[in-house]
Amino acid sequence: MKSATNIRNVAIILLIAAAVYALGSTGDFAVSFLVQLVSLAFLAALAWIGSRLYYEHRIDIHSLGSRRRAVLYLALGVLALALTALDRFWSSGLGTVAWLIVVGACVYALYSVYRSLKQY
């Protein structure tokens, strides 16, 4: 039973490698399309994980109170915007420092919400 699963997994990896090799010889457009497709699949998986975590912990989230919940949602939103604007921020030295400050503030806000959740 295990060997059949291993053979199947190796076949899938070889199929993906053959597709990347075949698309690589057709030009940059096909490779960039494949990279975008994998990136979107990864983001969809992250969204699914986020929704599952929300459903599992929604009672805890609603027990935080309005102020802490607002801090949580605001920090997550600003962090998402900072991650999507990574290339623009990192194009200059001052932008890199600003990005690090924004991400650090978001991480601190998330930690403070987590700490207040575990306090009770």
> Domain boundaries in the chain?
1-55, 63-120
Q: What is the pLDDT of residue 102?
A: 93
Q: Tell me the pLDDT of the chain averaged across its residues.
A: 86
pLDDT (average), residues 60-78: 90
pLDDT at residue 108 tops 60: yes
Position 52 scores a pLDDT of 95
**DSSP sequence for 10-39:** HHHHHHHHHHHHHHHTT-HHHHHHHHHHHH
Q: Give pLDDT tens digits for 6-45.
A: 888 899 889 888 877 776 666 677 777 778 888 899 989 9
Distance CA 49, CA 66 (A): 24
